[in-house]
Chain A
Amino acid sequence: MTGQVGPKLGDDVLLEVQDLVKHFPIRKGFLRRQTGAVKAVDGVSFFIREGETLGLVGESGCGKTTTGRCILRAIEPTSGQIYFKDKNMGRVEVVGLEKTQLKKLRQNMQMIFQDPYSSLNPRMTLLQIVGEPLLVNGVAKGKEIEDRVAELLRVVGLRPEYMVRYPHAFSGGQRQRIGVARALALNPQLIVCDEPVSALDVSIQAQILNMLQDLQEQFGLTYLFVAHDLSVVEHISDRVAVMYVGKLVESAKTEELFLNPMHPYTEALLSAVPKPDPRYKSKRIVLEGDVADPANPPPGCYFHPRCRYAIDRCKQELPLLRELKPDHFVACHRAEELALAGVAEQAADVTYR
């Protein structure tokens, strides 16, 4: 996967990330000399097709949010290429883009944040919040903005009259709808959803997930859905990518990944999710120890100290991401020989009245 330059995938690919790296320097001492680096994202490659939802999962600190932000260049990547098929500019390489072009590009890439309380300015009305992208990009002004904001609020299921109110007047679920309306303001192609439902209550979570799916159908949106909750990711994603300590360890179609995982970390992650069924007896794999330190990862495969299948080779040689089946990528030396357990199918047979 390394060494190649230029996009290599077909026309239906909206976003292609190649070898994305983001190292945060660790500085010490009087001269603030760099003594090391936190390898938050360390050579990640993936792609998203148009109209598709890619779920990006992993534990906290594995670099999934950093990856999402690098794509929008909200954080400057250290190295790597990001190709985006812009509806106006054609295929562009995001990392090397100049400021003026970047601004144009960002009209087509938007973001929804995790915390609906801190991501909305408490001193701005909904009209100002949702209308700001239109104003900043000179797309509309005056009465036009009002009309567009009213339309957007209706789209996300809020009443247009609310536009004169401030965020404090709304509940968590409603605030998340405001965040979605703001992201939709410029008719983007790609929306990076960074844990959009993890701060919400169970009954509200279902409403927001349904809305995101409806909007995707209505506007032909593409989502990069960053989350740690596997059941939510399974529900909304077409394909899923799993990250561990800054690296992609596995990616596949959702069903394939959940039923036939090929990486031991994915297997452990799936078995760790508490199942809402008291009759389900899980053979749970409990991982020992903690997530590796991204500033000082172990040699070889980063997962080997916690992996129950590790052999000597895993301790020395870093596995590369390989395509073992069509659309199923795995970074594990023993992927072919291991028979790993997915989410058992019988768990799905439970029905509720």
Chain B
Amino acid sequence: MTERDLLIEVKDVKTYFFLDEGTVRAVDGCSFDILRGQTLGVVGESGCGKSVTAQSILRIVPPPGRIVSGEIIFHRKEKGNKASSVVEQVRLHELDPRGPEIREIRGNEIALIFQEPMTSLSPVHTIGDQIMEAIILHQKVDKEEARKRAIDVLSRVGLPKPEQRVDAYPHQLSGGMRQRAMIAMALSCTPSMLIADEPTTALDVTTEAQILDLMRKLQRDIGMAIMFITHNLGVIAEMCNEVVVMYLGKQVERADVDSVFYNPQHPYTQALLRSIPRIGQKSRERLESIKGMVPDPYSIPPGCPFHPRCAQYMPGICDRDQEIPFYQISEHQWARCYLYDQDVKKQKAQTEG
């Protein structure tokens, strides 16, 4: 990996929400890098902090939440010249969330698409106006040119009859077309990174297949990196190069996609993979479910947050109230679990032997 490939570095980011009821540790130590043109998948159940991680990168964490520690470094190609080989480092976590520097990056360098295209598009503006807003803001062109570019980007995402649809309101489009319009908006400034927060969850499988195909094609054309947030392991397997598994704000495993599916190391990842019904595997056998439920965010168990539900729970080790290191297992695989601690391994061998 050379310096030039690196697009974004996230180092041990912690984003907490300070509420009257207590502090919610929405993201509690998350580290990963994204390379140019690569796809990183972030997977986990609801409330595990996947979306807040994305919000932290874009600095749009809603108050009372804020980033309490960690670093987010964005390697930006020279301003105004995305083909340039000169790279400058922008320390996103230090920027003022309302300042001009981050606004220059949002939408322009890093774009975001949301899960529910109906609620994230404005119902009182045409989709053309909404796309043109981003173009005019970032590209210093007049309205006429912006409209031309909006139509161009709409046809790139495969929206039929873009010259007419540019004047349509979101309610006039179907779910799949709305998601295409949303992707068009995100791509209008050819960003170097796209954050896709559950982009296909609200869609039907056939529409989902269309959108995933489209995203892959556009990624090839533009060469952008994608951070793909989803709870669907099937989508992860198809789209991603690298995967981060999260549980209750903690990053429990990080690995390349093949290792996650064929050689998962953290007990949570293993349990998650066993609990999903698989197509083409007809068996009416019981699924191996994970016992218990996700605890509420105010009473996260001490030590490893997964220990009350874990099949390999080691009393006196997993529930110690201290930070668990992120053990490196192989070149491309890390897991936050004491099973991979040398001392614990020795102890275990002694008691068993």
Contacts and interface: CB of A to CB of B under 8 A. Distances in A.
A206 B277 CA distance: 8
A207 B212 CA distance: 29
B97 to A, nearest CB: 30
A272 B276 contact: no
B293 A231 contact: no
Interface in B247-277: 257-258, 260-264, 270-277
A71 interface: no
A241 B176 CA distance: 24
Given A209-B277, A278-B258, A286-B213, A228 B237 contact: no
Contact of A348 (B208, B213, B232, B281): B281
A209 B283 CA distance: 13
A175 to B, nearest CB: 11
Interface size bucket, A side?
35 or more
Contacts of B209: 271-272, 274, 284, 286-287
B286 A276 contact: no
Contacts of A287: 206, 209-210
Interface in B128-178: 160, 174-177
Contacts of B235: 274
B280 interface: yes
B238 interface: yes
B141 to A, nearest CB: 32
A45 interface: no
A98 interface: no
Contacts, number: 160
A234 B279 contact: yes
A274 B204 contact: no
B293 A277 contact: no
Nearest to B258: A278
Contacts of B160: 289
Contacts of A206: 275-277, 287-290
Contact of A59 (B206, B272, B281, B290): B206
A201 B47 CA distance: 10
Contacts of B207: 59, 290
A350 B278 CA distance: 10
Given A171-B293, A276-B278, A290-B174, A213 B210 contact: no
A197 B278 CA distance: 15
Nearest to B247: A203
A213 B286 contact: yes
A38 interface: no
Contacts of A269: 205-206
Given A278-B237, A352-B264, A203 B204 contact: no
A59 B205 contact: yes
B236 interface: yes
A33 interface: no
A275 B279 contact: yes
Contacts of A277: 237, 261
A352 B207 CA distance: 29
B205 to A, nearest CB: 4
Interface string A13-40: 0000000000000000000000000000
B206 A272 contact: yes
Contact of A273 (B46, B205, B260): B205
Nearest to A174: B293
Given A202-B45, A206-B289, A347 B279 contact: yes
Nearest to A284: B209
Interface string A218-230: 0000000000101
A203 B271 contact: yes
Contacts of A235: 277, 283-284, 287
Contacts of B261: 276-279, 350, 352
B294 to A, nearest CB: 7
B234 interface: yes
Interface string A231-263: 110111000000000000000001100100000
B346 interface: no
Given A213-B286, A272-B205, A274-B234, A234 B277 contact: yes
A274 B280 contact: no
A194 B7 CA distance: 44
A228 B280 contact: no
B282 A234 contact: yes
Interface string B234-246: 1111100000000
A278 B286 contact: no
B231 interface: yes
B233 interface: yes
Contact of B287 (A210, A279, A282, A343): A210
B205 A230 contact: yes
A7 interface: no
Contacts of B279: 230-231, 234, 258, 270, 273, 275, 343, 347
Contacts of B175: 60
Nearest to A204: B293
B173 to A, nearest CB: 10
Nearest to A287: B206
Contact of B205 (A205, A213, A228): A228
Interface string A330-353: 000000000000111101101011
A221 to B, nearest CB: 15
B289 A207 contact: yes
Interface centre among A209, A268, A277, A347 (most CB of B within 10 A): A277
Given A255-B282, A277-B261, A347-B280, A353 B275 contact: no
Contacts of A231: 234, 276-279
Contacts of B213: 284, 286
A276 B206 contact: no
Shortest beta-carbon contacts, A-B, top 6: A274-B234, A343-B280, A206-B289, A235-B277, A272-B209, A206-B287
5 contacts: A60-B204, A201-B46, A235-B277, A275-B238, A347-B281
Given A206-B277, A213-B286, A228-B205, 14 more contacts: A171-B293, A203-B271, A230-B205, A231-B278, A231-B279, A234-B282, A273-B205, A274-B208, A276-B273, A289-B160, A290-B174, A347-B278, A352-B273, A353-B264
